[in-house]
Structure 1
Amino acid sequence: MANTYTQIHLQFVFAVKYRKALILPDWEERLYQYMTGIIQHNEHKMLQINGMPDHIHLFIGMRPTQSISSLIQNVKTESSKWINDNKFTTSHFSWQEGYGAFSYSKSHVPDVIRYIQNQEIHHQKESFLDEYLKLLKAFEIEYDEKYIFKELE
C-alpha cells in the first residue's frame, strides 16, 4: 500500500466457549506461539499475548489491509482447529462467539503490554467479567447484558 501510513494498536479479548477453563499450562505457550504465527501470517505485529485458562488477550499492531472481524475469525477458527487436532482437551474445544476490540494510542502501548503480561496477578483481584465490563465502560462502548460472555458453567 504505497503512501499509506498507519499506527493502529488494538487489544482483543475473547473467551473459551462457556468460559470453561480449558487452556492448560502445559500447552498454553504453544497456543500463544500458534496465534502469534496467525497474526504474523496476516502481516500484523503481535505486541503481547497472554491469558487465563478461560480467556485470551491479544495486543497487536494492525495493518489496514484486513478487517478486524476477518482477522479475529481467522485467529479463532485456526486456533480452535489446532487445539482439537492436537487433542489438547478431552472434549471439543471452541471459542465463545464475539470478542472485545479496544484501540490505544502509542503512549499507552507499554502500559497495555504490562497489563497483559500480568494477567495472573490481575485476576487474583478481579474476575474476567468484571475486567471485561470495566473495559467496555472505560471505552464507553454500549452493550447488552445478554450478549456479554457467558458465566462459568
Structure 2
Amino acid sequence: MKIEYNNLYTHFIFTTLHRVPLISEKFRERIEKYITGIVNNNDSQLYAIYANTEHVHFLISRSPKLSEESLASIVAESSQRFINQNNLCDNNLSGKNLHLPFQYQNRMLTEFVNTFLIKRNIIVK
C-alpha cells in the first residue's frame, strides 16, 4: 500500500484530566511505543514522541485521507484503553482529555524541531 504524507505535519499534545500527573516514568516508553504503533498503523508517520507525567507530545505527518480529528480520536481512544487495561497509571484515564493539534509548514517545522525538540532532548539531531 502506498502511503502519501503531503507535508501535513501536526504536533499533538494530549493531557490527562486536570493535568494530574498519572503517567509513571516506568511505563513512559511502553506508552510511547504503543502510540507510535497506532500512528504508523493509520497511514501516518511519527517523527517524535515524548510522554511527560501529565501530557504526551507527538509530531506526525498524516495521510490526506485522514483528518486531524479522526487521528486524534483513534490515538486517544486506543491509548486510553491500552493504558487502563494494562494498569499503566495509578488511576484510570478519563475520556475527557485535552487534544491540542498544531499544524506546521516545512519552514515552521524545521524551526519547531530545532528550537523545541532538539533543545529539550526529545529527539537527537
Q: Same fold (TM over 0.5)?
A: yes
CA distance in 2, matches of 1:5, 1:39: 12
CA distance in 1, matches of 2:5, 2:94: 36
User: Secondary structure in 2 aligned to 1:65?
Assistant: coil
Could you say which structure has the larger radius of gyration?
A: 1
- What is the aligned residue count? 118
Query: Offset of 1:94 from its aligned partner?
Result: 2.7
Residue 73 of structure 1 aligns with an amino acid whose one-letter code is S
Which stretch of structure 1 is more off in the superposition, 49-58 or 71-80? 49-58
Query: Offset of 1:112 from its aligned partner?
Result: 2.6
Give structure 2 stretches of 5+ with no counterpart.
none
1 or 2, which has the higher helix percentage? 1
- Residue 10 of structure 1 corresponds to which residue in structure 2? 10
Query: Offset of 1:104 from its aligned partner?
Result: 1.1
Give structure 1 stretches of 5+ with no counterpart.
121-153
Residue 46 of structure 1 aligns with an amino acid whose one-letter code is L
* Equivalent residue runs for 1:1-153 within 5 Å: 6-94=6-94, 96-114=96-114, 115-116=116-117, 118=120
Q: Percent identity?
A: 25
1 or 2, which has the higher strand percentage? 2
Contact 2:13 2:58 in 1 (8 A): yes
- TM-score (structure 1 length as normaliser): 0.68
- TM-score (structure 2 length as normaliser): 0.82
